[in-house]
Amino acid sequence: MFGVPLRLSSSWFLGAAIIAWVFAPVVERWLLLDPPWTWVVGASFAVLLGLSVLAHEMAHAIMAQRFGLEVRSMTIHLIGGVTAMEAETRRPWVDFTVAVVGPLTSLVVGGVAWLGYLVAPSGTVFSFVTFQLMAANLIVGLLNLVPALPLDGGRLLRDVVWAASGREYLGTVVAGWTGRGFAVVVAFFAFLPVMLGRPDVVWLAWGLLLAGFIWFEASRSLKFAGMTRAIARLTVADLMRPVVFVPHDTPLASALTLPGARDAAVVVTDAHGSVAGVVRPESAAAVPAERQPWVPVSSVAASATDAVRLAPQLEGHDLVAALTSHPSPVHIVEDDEGTVYGVLVTADVEEALSAGRRRA
């Protein structure tokens, strides 16, 4: 839909069956119908509720496309839906707009259902379904405005803190911990009937499922915040290795024992003194020590024509985007005039990210 793949999770069918089962006695009581019509009405409501969730996710997807973001898919699952985007926007107000249209769409659908309920003859299937659809969409819309990740309201809170402080990391941490707190509140209300001596298995099951989902996703957002903070601290200047230039026919053993070569990157030059390649650390390590005096350094070097060039001023998300768009074990750091400043080894970046996540 709108160029975005739509996926219906197998868990949705389980949710639809549970909804039909829960609503069957309600339909029987309200409309005085007998099975199998109670199941038919309950299943019909489940389908309409799924379409309402789809409208919610479509609003996210369409707005994201309006801002030029690539939407990977829309998925409808057991307790809602998710719109997956290829990359997060780096602008808080754009993310705010994309997030807020979902709950607003649910409220609009609830309002339309309410109008349908007002004009529907009393005691009919149409009046029952429109009333339930109104209630469900108003609950979904208002629930999603709660400022707690992973709900849309959590994204809104994150974006407000992000815009005010200029730190995406801080916004995600605030909204993530709010999400964890909200999960505890949901779990409390799930157990409340049990504590009052009026246990409700369905209420308890759905409440705990929702609380667990919110806690898990909020925790994942906090881990993502650590990653975001670690990424923001990355700079080419800090991570690149100094270079040692050697002619292409230099024995590998000699190149590896040059002063400073232990902590530097070995850059191979051709007969004219131009950069011909960069020694791959893993390729050099794979050569047995007894053969290194007889192996030319050029045989374990990545060709300069294949190596990716990085500007020395790259940092943060721009650096990660450059590395992921052109995967390579080593990258040559040079300016527009071709001056080589150093070599960035991908393994060094991964190590820096891991250390940053541990500190966060």
In this structure, are 211 and 324 located in the same domain? no
Q: Looking at the domain assignment, is residue 1 inside a domain?
A: no
- Domain residues for the domain of 290 are 236-359
Query: Which residues does residue 74 pair with via DSSP β-bridges, in sequence order?
Result: 6, 83
Same domain, 292 and 171: no
Q: Residue 106's pLDDT is what?
A: 96
Residues 57, 202: one domain? yes
Same domain, 192 and 222: yes
> Given the structure tokens 């003194």, which residue do they identify?
273
The number of folded domains in the chain is 2
- Please say if the pLDDT value at position 202 is more than 90: no
Distance CA 39, CA 20 (A): 6
Do 211 and 279 sit in the same domain of this protein? no
Q: Is the same domain home to 136 and 256? A: no
* Same-domain status, 174 and 45: yes
User: Which long-range CB contacts under 8 A does 151-155 form with residues at least 24 apart?
Assistant: 151/179, 151/182, 151/214, 152/99, 152/100, 152/102, 152/103, 153/103, 154/178, 154/179, 154/218, 154/221, 155/95, 155/96, 155/99
The pLDDT assigned to 258 comes to 84
281 and 150, same structural domain? no
What is the value of pTM for the model shown?
0.70
Mean pLDDT is lowest, of 43-47, 96-100, 152-156, 181-185, for 43-47
Which residue, 182, 207, 232, sits at the end of a domain? 232
Q: Is 82 a domain residue?
A: yes
Q: What is the pLDDT of residues 19-62, one digit of tens each?
A: 888 888 888 888 888 888 888 888 898 899 999 999 999 999 99
63 pLDDT tier (thresholds 50, 70, 90): very high
* DSSP state letters, 122-142: TTSHHHHHHHHHHHHHHHHHH
Residues 305 and 272 in one domain: yes
Same domain? For 51 and 180 the reply is yes
| pLDDT beyond 90 at 118 | yes
Do 165 and 268 sit in the same domain of this protein? no
Residue 182: pLDDT above 80? Answer: yes
Q: Which has the higher per-residue pLDDT, 274 or 100?
A: 100
Those residues whose C-beta lies under 8 Å from the C-beta of residue 229, and which sit 6 or more positions away, are 169, 356, 360
Same domain, 109 and 195: yes
